[in-house]
Structure 1
Amino acid sequence: MYHENVTESATTEAIGPAALLPAPGAERHVALDFANSAPTLPGGQSLDLLGTPEAAARWLAERHLAPPEAELREVCAQRLRALRDQIRALIASRIDARPAPAGALRAVNDALTTAPAAELLHWDEARGLHRAPAHPVTQIVDHAMAVLAADAADLLSGPHADRLAACGSAPCTRYLLRTHARRHWCSVRCGDRARAARAYARRTRTEAP
């Protein structure tokens, strides 16, 4: 099926506000919200909340992972999208009880250890030896990625891991934490759509000659 990609510049009103409500568990684990930041919408469109540097900066700022005035570059947004893909791969492997992909583990561990814990020592002709943080934008992104990776590691190895599930309503691609044993929908909209699809399938079977 062809999926049209749209960025966050498509308005909430045009897409439907229910499509953007956080999935169950995202309020507790920002990494789950991060993994769900490129949802496939009911009409088959895919929305990327990190699709542009401006959108990525806004997403981080809204979750207090970057200052509101932060201006990211495309390379920063690309790094965030790449980490998101690897976290999604780890979540999928955990749900399916498969071995964790080595590349995804490496990406999360790299993000955990990249953010500098202290200002580094530098030298230039004007100031000589001095201590200063890494490039401000790079430092912001490194810190955000470290926080997201740490939360993903906690989610995947902690007590909530067994409650991870993929939304059971196609074409949705979001993950969630089940609130009870049978819940596999990330939103009321997805639940209604799944029930309607089952009812239609039953009706079709009943009416078949």
Structure 2
Amino acid sequence: MDETVAEEPDLPSAPGAEQYPSLDLANSAVVLPGGRSVDLLAAPAQANRWLTERGLAPVDAGMREMCATQLRVLREQIRSLFASHVAALPALPAALTAVNDALTKVPTAPLLQWDDEDGPYRVTPHPVTEIVDHALATLASDAADLLTGPDAARLTACGSTPCNRYLLRHGRRHWCSTRCGDRARAARAYARRAQAGGS
């Protein structure tokens, strides 16, 4: 039985997650051994904290469930794009659309405004209601940069079951953490012993 736990897992960031916030976002829902999982964006307060820790929202943004849901939806679409890239499969159109929608929802240039007394002026809007849109656009842009940049060839999925995190591979390392590497090596050793015992 799957069990979602409230506390954050005792896992270091996966290689590359500190460089690419979109990779960190993709890894914000973690599957742990024993059927446990952790969602760092499960509630609005957690989503607000996650964005704040990455400089994408102020502490007092007042995140609502709708905003946290938007962040979780973008996470799943980015995960879908990462999975397609890692497996060398075509991307799902819905995932591309979601990332492109996030990219285009926020203006990239100051907009022209008009004040009745002072006339025209330009300003980049960033009211509280648009904080999440800006965060989503930043994360979507980061995912696009990762998938089209020089590090794209290093993007891989953790090779330790049941872990579902992504990382940037360094050499032959295919694990997101030492813990996952140890678990994968132990599973291989157990399989070899079982095969040798059954022969």
- Aligned partner of 2:147: which letter? L
Structure 1 position 42 matched with structure 2 position 33: yes
1:128 aligned partner: none
Q: Say how many residue pairs are matched.
A: 192
2:81 aligned partner: 90
- Superposed, 1:148-163 pairs within 5 Å as 148-163=139-154
Unaligned runs of at least 5 residues, structure 1 = 124-130
Cα separation, 2, equivalents of 1:22 and 1:171:
17
TM-score under structure 1 length normalisation: 0.85
- Provide the aligned C-alpha RMSD in A: 2.1
Cα separation, 1, equivalents of 2:144 and 2:42:
24
TM-score under structure 2 length normalisation: 0.89
Contact conserved, 2:99 with 2:140, CA < 8 A, in 1? Answer: yes
1:11 aligned partner: 7
Unaligned runs of at least 5 residues, structure 2 = 116-122
Contact conserved, 1:89 with 1:104, CA < 8 A, in 2? Answer: yes
SS of 1:186's partner is coil
Question: Cα distance, 1:121 vs. partner?
Answer: 5.6
SS of 1:43's partner is helix
Amino-acid identity (%): 60
Cα separation, 2, equivalents of 1:179 and 1:78:
33
- Superposed, 1:101-140 pairs within 5 Å as 101-117=92-108, 118=110, 133=125, 136=128, 138-140=129-131
1:62 aligned partner: 53
Contact conserved, 1:5 with 1:47, CA < 8 A, in 2? Answer: yes
Give structure 1 regions of 4+ aligned residues with deviation exceeding 6 angstroms: none
Q: 1:131-159 CA distances to partner (integer Å, 9 max, x unpaired)?
A: 894651x3110010010000000000111
Structure 1 position 201 matched with structure 2 position 191: yes
